[in-house]
Amino acid sequence: SLDMQLQSEKDAVASQLAAGIAHEIRNPITAIKGFLQLIMADYEGETMYFEVVEAEIARVEAILKELMVLGKPTKIKYEKLSLHVLLDQVLTLMESHALLNNIQIVKRYNLSEATVLGDEGQLKQVFINYIKNAIEAMPDGGTIFVEGLALSEGNIQIQIIDQGCGIPSDMLGRINEPFFTTKEYGTGLGMNVSSQIIEEHQGQVNIISSNDGTCIEVILSADFN
């Protein structure tokens, strides 16, 4: 609809602007970091406060890095991908982060027959973003289920299911907006970037949530060639 069209144009402008600002902030931050390191090397007292400043600078740099990705024109490199292998690789990547947070990731997919046409890096980013959010939704630990299903209509459905805090229904409509976050140090970009990537892949994202947790469902069309 026109409304959605306008919204996505607004989102694109906001993303572009954020990326531009991030670029401008990066240089002074790099200078601050360099001089801090010089000061630290000279200083002979307690360095605890310096370390706090250094850690906070690292956090700013991480946020800037995420923001700058937004401004990049998306050049998708489509190739034939095994979703099974891709998910395995993502889970291997996320496993230690999950365990550190007392979370177990359970694989419930067998998609060895299914391939999709997609950009490997971008699709990995999508599942990393969703699993990160699932982990962050369960501060006391728990289990994340990753389900995969080849649907009869030639689609592949992947679900990331957590038993976390859930998303209040009045927020559901907003979580794909850029910069919408409920977290103290959140960027509010993970959901936005992910939904854009899936859209570019002609796929679909459905979000089902209650107090008992959240299910993020990604549907991609299978490649039969």
| Distance of alpha carbon 120 from alpha carbon 77, whole angstroms | 8
Exactly one of 183, 184, 224, 225 binds ligand ADP (CB under 6 A); which one? Answer: 183
205 near ligand ADP, rule: CB under 6 A: no
Residues 208/217, Cβ–Cβ less than 8 Å: yes
Residues 84/111, Cβ–Cβ less than 8 Å: yes
| Distance of alpha carbon 118 from alpha carbon 109, whole angstroms | 19
186 near ligand ADP, rule: CB under 6 A: yes
Backbone angles phi, psi at 205, to 5 degrees: -120, 125
Interface residues toward Mg ion, by CB under 5 A: 133, 190
- The residue among 81 and 124 lying less far from ligand ADP, judged by its C-beta, is 124
180 near ligand ADP, rule: CB under 6 A: yes
87 near ligand ADP, rule: CB under 6 A: no
* Least separation in angstroms between CB 191 and Mg ion: 7
Residue 114, helix vs strand vs coil? coil
* Least separation in angstroms between CB 47 and ligand ADP: 30
181 near ligand ADP, rule: CB under 6 A: yes
Q: Quick one: how many helices (H) and strands (E) in the chain?
A: 6, 7
* Least separation in angstroms between CB 115 and ligand ADP: 27
| Distance of alpha carbon 188 from alpha carbon 102, whole angstroms | 24
What does 134 interact with, of ligand ADP, Mg ion, none (CB < 5 to 8 A by kind)?
Answer: ligand ADP
163 near ligand ADP, rule: CB under 6 A: no
| Distance of alpha carbon 11 from alpha carbon 160, whole angstroms | 25
First to last CA, the chain: 33
133 near ligand ADP, rule: CB under 6 A: yes
Binding site for ligand ADP (CB under 6 A): 129, 133-134, 137, 162, 164-167, 175, 180-183, 186-192, 214
